[in-house]
């Protein structure tokens, strides 16, 4: 520092400036020997360029390796399994074609004509036993206005018709496979050895197992046959609602919403689309839906009267996206996060429902209006995961 001090002292003509705004600590050498400073600076700059260059090259190779790994996995899936009706186009590099938002010219008319899936929670059976018979089929579904998809689904569609049981009931489950390849069913509400209960059922075969629905909540069930990504993406999922033994606070309406994504091998019109496995692996869906059909509750809103409390039982079937559950224009009065029915949070703006998980949400809306039900991860809204709760006798519609 002696050189600096000397300089400051010698610069006595402007002491006020010198002392009122002291410079940051500097090396004496910088002050006394500018050429040395520039040499050091140049050296450092040179080193930085070399380091950044190395990192850039390494990142390039890493990205390349990651792509190669993903493509290898896709190829392995494609070669190891026979998947009728699927585009198992693993190994595709570069951009994959997106059919997001593509629909026939008369999509608005078709959206109005579509019969929306009834989102009302069905009653639970009485007595100690709930008998459930699930049938698996290959069938073509509508997943957006005019957009057809060759699904593997539980009979009744994707999602499967909602199952509602009471905590403590014994679920006697029979699964019949009428599809072309092996399938199975994995109940998240069950505590059971999966290697026994969730095993593959060959075409034409059946399996029976039972479990006590001991844990209340909103649970997913799905086909668990490998590759599970393909079986869920193709439509093999549903929701089972297990009502708590201790009654929940009274509500006026109960709705069930299942979130899922669709990955299309073609636009889906005029010919139905199949699964694009590479898009599923990259999580690049063409459509994201509530109860299997894009925007169906925009054209056909769910309803409530002003002042009523509405309960949403929400399950996210994925296969890969989470849902950030949010109702525009209001706040969730009660939120049983992760469908942990032992406790709820109050006054939550947005609640996470993870892929493969559930949540239960109560909302009381006093003011008449149209309240969009969305995943606040808004890319999903753009792809169709939006519906409306129509409170009161309100005209018109809105998209959000």
| Beta carbon nearer to Cu ion, 149 or 255 | 149
Burial degree of 135 (CB within 10 A; 0-12, 13-18, 19+): middle
- Contact window for Cu ion (CB under 5 A) among 38-46, 73-81, 213-221, 227-235: 227-235
- Which residue number, 142 or 225, has a Cβ lying nearer to Cu ion? 225
Rounded to a whole number of angstroms, the minimum distance from the CB of residue 225 to Cu ion is: 4
Entry field: residues in the chain: 400
Report which secondary-structure segment, H or E, holds 74. Answer: helix 34-80
Instruction: Out of 139, 148, 150, 183, name the contact with Cu ion by CB under 5 A.
Output: 183
- 368 near 393, Cβ under 8 Å? yes
Please tell me whether residue 231 binds Cu ion under the rule CB under 5 A.
Answer: yes
Residue in 167, 169, 225, 296 binding Cu ion, rule: CB under 5 A: 225
**Residues 236-265, interacting with Cu ion (CB under 5 A):** 236
Could you give the C-alpha distances from 66 to 59, 71, 89, 316, in angstroms and in order? 10, 9, 17, 27
* Residue span binding Cu ion (CB under 5 A) among the ranges 23-31, 106-114, 176-184, 198-206: 176-184
Task: Please report whether residue 171 would count as binding Cu ion according to CB under 5 A.
Answer: no
Quote the least distance from Cβ 293 to Cu ion, whole Å. 20
The least distance separating Cu ion from the CB of residue 353, rounded to whole angstroms, comes to: 23
Q: Using CB under 5 A, which of the segments 93-101, 177-185, 281-289, 315-323 binds Cu ion?
A: 177-185
Min dist CB 183 to Cu ion, Å, is: 3
Name the one range near Cu ion by CB under 5 A: 17-25, 32-40, 209-217, 225-233. 225-233
Please, what is the minimum distance in Å from the beta carbon of residue 221 to Cu ion?
12
Minimum distance from residue 234 beta carbon to Cu ion (Å): 7
Other CB atoms within 10 Å distance of the CB of residue 399: 10
Contact between 219 and 240 under an 8 Å Cβ cutoff? The reply is yes
Count CA within 13 A, CB hemisphere, residue 300: 17
Q: Count of residues binding Cu ion (CB under 5 A)? A: 5
CA–CA distance from 50 to each of 39, 46, 47, 63 (Å)? 17, 6, 5, 20
Window contacting Cu ion (CB under 5 A); options: 114-122, 182-190, 291-299, 342-350 = 182-190
Is 150 a binder of Cu ion (CB under 5 A)? no
User: In terms of CB distance, is 231 or 364 closer to Cu ion?
Assistant: 231
Nearest residue (CB) to Cu ion, 169 versus 281: 281
Between 223 and 275, CB nearer to Cu ion: 223
| 369-375 vs 386-391, strand pairing mode | antiparallel
Identity of the residue, 88 or 341, whose beta carbon is nearer to Cu ion in the bound complex: 88
- DSSP H/E element including 362: strand 357-364
| Residue 242: CB minimum distance to Cu ion, A | 23
Cβ atoms 373, 386 nearer than 8 A: yes
Report in angstroms how near the CB of residue 235 gets to Cu ion at its nearest: 9
Does 223 bind Cu ion (CB under 5 A)? Our answer is yes
As a whole number of angstroms, the distance between CA 140 and CA 27 comes to 75
**Cα–Cα distance, 79 to 112 (Å, whole number):** 42
Site of interaction with Cu ion (CB under 5 A)? 183, 223, 225, 231, 236
């Amino acid at each position: 520092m002696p050189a600096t001090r000397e300089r400051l002292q010698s610069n006595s003509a402007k002491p006020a400036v010198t002392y009122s705004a002291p410079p940051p600590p500097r090396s004496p050498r910088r002050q006394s020997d500018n050429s040395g400073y520039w040499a050091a600076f140049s050296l450092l700059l040179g080193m930085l360029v070399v380091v950044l260059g190395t990192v850039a090259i390494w990142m390039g190779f890493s990205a390349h390796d990651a792509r190669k790994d993903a493509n290898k996995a896709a190829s392995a899936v494609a070669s190891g399994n026979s998947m009728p009706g699927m585009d198992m186009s693993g190994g595709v590099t570069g951009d994959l074609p997106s059919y997001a938002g593509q629909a026939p010219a008369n999509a608005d008319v078709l959206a109005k004509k579509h019969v929306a899936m009834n989102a009302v929670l069905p009653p639970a059976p009485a007595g100690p036993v709930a008998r459930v018979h699930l049938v698996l089929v290959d069938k073509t579904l509508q997943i957006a206005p005019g957009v057809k998809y060759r699904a593997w689904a539980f009979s009744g569609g994707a999602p499967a018709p909602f199952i509602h049981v009471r905590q403590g009931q014994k679920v006697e489950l029979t699964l019949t496979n009428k599809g072309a390849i092996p399938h199975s069913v994995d109940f998240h509400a069950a505590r059971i050895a999966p290697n026994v209960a969730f095993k593959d059922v060959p075409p034409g075969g059946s399996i029976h197992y039972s479990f006590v629905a001991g844990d209340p909540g909103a649970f997913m069930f799905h086909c668990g046959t490998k590759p599970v990504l393909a079986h869920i993406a193709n439509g093999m999922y549903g929701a089972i609602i297990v009502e708590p033994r201790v009654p929940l606070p009274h509500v006026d309406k109960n709705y069930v919403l299942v979130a899922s994504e669709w990955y299309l091998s073609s636009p889906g019109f005029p010919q139905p689309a199949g699964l694009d496995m590479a898009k599923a692996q990259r999580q690049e869906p063409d459509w994201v839906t509530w109860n299997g059909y894009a925007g169906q509750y925009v054209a056909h809103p769910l309803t409530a009267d002003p002042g009523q409390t509405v309960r949403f039982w929400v399950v996210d079937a994925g296969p890969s996206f989470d849902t950030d559950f949010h109702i525009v224009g209001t706040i969730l009065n009660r939120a049983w996060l992760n469908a942990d029915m032992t406790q709820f949070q109050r006054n939550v703006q947005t609640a996470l429902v993870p892929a493969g998980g559930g949540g239960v949400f109560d909302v009381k809306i006093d003011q008449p209006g149209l309240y969009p039900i969305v995943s606040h991860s808004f890319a999903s809204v753009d792809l169709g995961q939006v519906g409306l709760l129509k409170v009161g006798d309100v005209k018109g519609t809105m998209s959000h």
